[in-house]
Amino acid sequence: MSTILTSVPTDDYKEYLKSLNDFDTLNKLHWDTKRQVYSDYGLHTSSVKLVTDRDANPPVKIRKVMKEPRLKFVDSFGYVNLFPFLMKLLPPDSLQLEATLTRINNESLLWTDYGLRSLSKSDPFYIAEKSD
């Protein structure tokens, strides 16, 4: 974007681009050292299910939270965890690149004979009723 906008000052955009490409900041905010994976961080819970509200006409599915969200890394692993790799933000000699490539190649996670899954086979939401 900083190269497209030639008629306006671009220093702000260049500074923003620099911050988005900062490997140390990326790791500080998104690298889960316990799981060795990039993840989103925030209020999350996987203790939810869809239940039918039969009082509604017509009946609809609603989200029931069994355990309140808490601040943590998202436990799910899927294509979204690969964005630092896909955006070429990982140095070739980094531990993060090695860990990401190992996870990509793991057949119990994303790798298939036909390409990559969008969500790991080990995820509780993999092939689960969730999109009603």
pLDDT at 68: 92
Mean pLDDT, all residues of the chain: 88
CA atoms within 13 A on the CB side of 95: 9
Alpha carbon distance 35, 90 (integer Å):
17
Q: Of residues 90 and 125, which shows the higher confidence score?
A: 90
- Give strand ranges (E) for the chain: 31-32, 37-38, 41-44, 48-53, 60-65, 70-73, 111-112, 115-116
Among the listed residues 122, 108, 94, 118, the one whose alpha carbon sits nearest the alpha carbon of residue 36: 94
Contact by Cβ (8 Å): 21, 89: yes
- What per-residue confidence (pLDDT) applies to 19? 82
What pLDDT digit, counting tens, does each position of 34-90 carry? 999 999 999 988 888 889 988 888 989 888 999 999 999 998 899 999 999 999 999
So what's the pLDDT on residue 113?
94
pLDDT at 130 over 70: no
